[in-house]
Structure 1
Amino acid sequence: MSKTKQKSIDELLKEALVPKDEQPYQVPENWTYFYFTSILDIQGGTQPPKSQFINEPKEGYIRLVQIRDFASDDYLTYIPYTNKLRLIEEEDILIARYGASVGRILTGLSGAYNVALAKVVYPKEHIYRKYLYWLLQTEHFQGPLKMISRSAQAGFNKNDLSNIKLPLPPYNEQKRIAEKIERLFAKIDEAKRLIEEVKESVELRRAAILDRAFRGELGTNDPNEKGMLEESNVITKRDIVPENEQLYEVPKNWIWVKAGNVTEVVGGGTPKTTVREYYENGNVPWITPADLSDFEGIYISRGQRNITSEGLRNSSAKLLPAKTVLLSSRAPIGYVAIAANLLSTNQGFKSFIPSDVIDSEYLYWYLKKSKKYLEGMGSGSTFKEISASKCKEIKIPLPPINEQKRISKRVGMLLNNLDREKEMVLEVEEKLDLLKQSILSKAFRGELGTNDPNDEHAIELLKEVLKSK
């Protein structure tokens, strides 16, 4: 019986090397490209039955590592140890094989691992671990893998990876590349940490501006202006909230009132959805809380749907004048907008039609600032809701009308400045994420300035790997 002829090193090298004209990118002269499976391998995990799973460590059991464990320790799983299990150490590199996580490169856990993961087997004396870890996260590997994953619903296997082409520099260059990537990424991560601090600062400053605005601490108050009790016929002494019930101290020419004394509180409604005539060709804007979920403006003119005049008449929806302040009163409590024109709302709102003594924008900002206060007023077992009667009881600090307008203008300006600052920070954050991709892209084309042309050609490294197989 004849023995299978063993391939020569030249034959193995020819199979392993990617021809020059088929290499994806130009790389330094002492680099080369190899096919994934010529020197790398993968080992899939094992999947014990769920009946063997326990949630606490126990003698004779071993941790079963799953994809979700790399994000959280909330769902640790242990299984009986057997010699049939595939095991990993913390230094091992894994590839997620299935679903939305396919292609994720994972490391840092030890134990047995399940079938949704594949361990990368590589020649550790010739391939630097961190070089391989970063390389597998680049388009060199991820691009072809995405194409494979689209056609392979059950995940990928070793043969699927056989035509993936990867760059191979000399070993010392692999180390230099990995070290430079980690130095640069550490600087980027520090910049991102500082950005998170700025973002938190923006939100804290936003809250502080709104809090100070309604205490008379924005520097706009004129103590010589007459208060609303003196200036208005709408408010009487009986309307003033007693001092021991006021939420906090305000300037002497301000007063505390309840919303029901300075606005008309109105509910909304939904015409029967089965009656086409209530909606078809409607020209009455009709707002629901969903219309405000992503709404970033102050004034709203219309929602996703209109209703007809007939629908308005045959429901509890009301036609609200421009400058009415809309407050979502359930699911959730606290969305706020101002009507830019005549419109209506569904029953998810309580709306405030302002009298002459309260400025719409002032009330808008006060309600925006008071979300927690409003949520605390809600009641209900299924979901919390603020009733019309509760809305009338909302306590409002009321300065002179001109001061209300100055506050609204000042708050709008300060918050606009904060929004611009946040936008700039988010743009920088996005650029930092792109910078990481750019660094990885350059790293594996030899463009990070780390390559030494005097290093021995990577083909010699490849020969050593092939000889040892």
Structure 2
Amino acid sequence: MELSSCYKQTDAGMIPEEWEAISIFDLSDRRKELFDDGDWIEAEYLTSSGIRLIQTGNIGEGQFTDKESKKYISEESFKKLGCKALQVGDLLICRLAEPAGRACILPYIGEERIITAVDVTIFRPPSSLADRRYLVNVFSTPRWFQFVNERCGGSTRTRIARGELGKIKIPLPPIPEQRAIAEALGDMDALLGALDRIIAKKCDLKQAAMQQLLTGQTRLPGFHGEWQLKRLGDVADIRSGGTPSTAEALFWDGDVPWCTPTDITALHGYKYLGETSRMITQLGLKASSAEMIPAHSIVMTSRATIGECAINTVPVSTNQGFKNFIPFQTIDVDFLYYLLTTQKHGFISLCGGSTFLEIGKTQLVSYQVRLPASKDEQAAIGKILSDMDAELSALEQRRNKTRDLKQAMMQELLTGRTRLV
């Protein structure tokens, strides 16, 4: 390939002429105190308080992930082991999969003293050479992970040696351009963080609303009277599924949607199922115990992952890993959907099976739930929760588009295709 006169081919890829390809070793001026591993801390030294230990699980792709379960060591152990104290602003690169090479900047986390594990490399490039905000974005690109993966070893746990990590060359613009790139991508990170916080708050509000509305603790205006205790068998027609013989080609690739638990988990909590990854024929349907489930019913996983639900917007069949609910006329499908999602623990407690957990139709038919006698009240509750889901879905779509935009910006800015300076 013939390169433009404005670009050059390097070990870090094709970059602008005024950029350089520089190794991590050279960025640290080959000084161990600027590029060193964390400390080997065995379990016997761990305590519940003292000097905080940052572990590999705290290192996310471009961000620090704090967790409830925190590890510490004592001051005595710190001195005995000759540990290295971290500084706010250190670049932490995880040498252990998955994925090896992920990195973050250590933020202020409210701890006086901090150390990190041996599989985390502490990187402190001089500010005269590199902006760490720029570097952490470079360390989140597919090309970086490819370079790291090519140098990984280990049969049990894949990791990259610090020496190999130091040999990797990365594209490095002049400092003013590094800062401009870091600020542009930082603005996107700030927007993503704000969206994540809004989504988390909306999720909490929805959970609180479900707790109040689906138990009758809070009643909507205009609705009165006691709720009824009913068996699920009196709420819906409960049907199972089946699988046509896989040895018979005439049973497959037809026009009948055939749902497996994978189709439900692939929704990632989305409420509606509109298509399935596999289809069967009418012959396959008749030759198996699978049944057609009318649209606007509820399909629910009943094996292994139990209690995952979706409302099917088209008629579907399912395999035997489902119990499906066709609501009776007196039952609002949205209300029943949300009610069922709150019963997972109850369903699991009834499960049998020595190889894997499974809840049977007989158990579900007799399972009791409390619900309003009025379908109008059910529908009103269902609408409130549906509206909250719709708002969450819109926010998640916006977050996903913003994340995609940031990825596109990274591809442009970190390769020099688009210049900010």
Q: TM class, shorter-chain normalised?
A: 0.5 to 0.7
* 1: CA distance, partners of 2:254 / 2:142: 50
TM-score, length of structure 2 as denominator length: 0.61
| 2:86 alignment partner, one of 86, 90, 94 | 90
Which secondary structure state, in structure 2, belongs to the residue aligned with residue 353 of structure 1? strand
* 2: CA distance, partners of 1:298 / 1:21: 49
> 1:56/1:130 Cα in 2 relative to 1: closer, same or farther (>3 Å)?
farther
Length, aligned pairs only: 374
* 2: CA distance, partners of 1:410 / 1:107: 41
Rg larger in 1 or in 2?
1
Contact 1:199–1:425 (CA under 8 A) maintained in structure 2: no
Corresponding letter in the other structure for 1:415: D
* 1: CA distance, partners of 2:124 / 2:208: 55
Residue deviations 1:196-226 (CA, integer Å, cap 9, x gap): 442222112223444426738344x5xxxxx
**Structure 1 partner of 2:347:** 375
* 2: CA distance, partners of 1:288 / 1:141: 34
* 1: CA distance, partners of 2:95 / 2:273: 49
How much has 1:35 moved relative to structure 2?
5.7
* 1: CA distance, partners of 2:200 / 2:324: 32
> 1:64/1:314 Cα in 2 relative to 1: closer, same or farther (>3 Å)?
closer
> 1:282/1:34 Cα in 2 relative to 1: closer, same or farther (>3 Å)?
closer
> 1:252/1:426 Cα in 2 relative to 1: closer, same or farther (>3 Å)?
same
**Structure 1 partner of 2:199:** 199
Contact 1:285–1:344 (CA under 8 A) maintained in structure 2: yes
* 1: CA distance, partners of 2:243 / 2:261: 12
**Structure 2 partner of 1:212:** 213
Which secondary structure state, in structure 1, belongs to the residue aligned with residue 86 of structure 2? coil
Contact 1:291–1:304 (CA under 8 A) maintained in structure 2: no
TM-score, length of structure 1 as denominator length: 0.56
**Structure 1 partner of 2:252:** 280
**Structure 1 partner of 2:45:** 56
* 1: CA distance, partners of 2:206 / 2:337: 15
Corresponding letter in the other structure for 1:137: V
Gaps of 5+ in 1: 1-19, 222-249, 448-469
Structure with the largest fraction of helix? 1
Which secondary structure state, in structure 2, belongs to the residue aligned with residue 318 of structure 1? coil
* 1: CA distance, partners of 2:284 / 2:142: 57
Matches within 5 A, 1:281-300: 281-295=253-267, 296-298=270-272, 300=274
Contact 2:92–2:104 (CA under 8 A) maintained in structure 1: yes
**Structure 2 partner of 1:394:** 368
| 1:41 alignment partner, one of 30, 46, 56 | 30
Which secondary structure state, in structure 2, belongs to the residue aligned with residue 101 of structure 1? coil
Which secondary structure state, in structure 1, belongs to the residue aligned with residue 308 of structure 2? strand
Contact 2:301–2:307 (CA under 8 A) maintained in structure 1: yes
**Structure 2 partner of 1:451:** none
Residue deviations 1:72-104 (CA, integer Å, cap 9, x gap): 887899xx99xxx99855357676667632374
Contact 2:264–2:309 (CA under 8 A) maintained in structure 1: yes
Gaps of 5+ in 2: 1-5, 10-14, 60-64, 108-112, 154-159
Q: How many percent identity over aligned positions?
A: 20
Corresponding letter in the other structure for 2:283: S
* 2: CA distance, partners of 1:64 / 1:421: 35
> 1:87/1:144 Cα in 2 relative to 1: closer, same or farther (>3 Å)?
farther
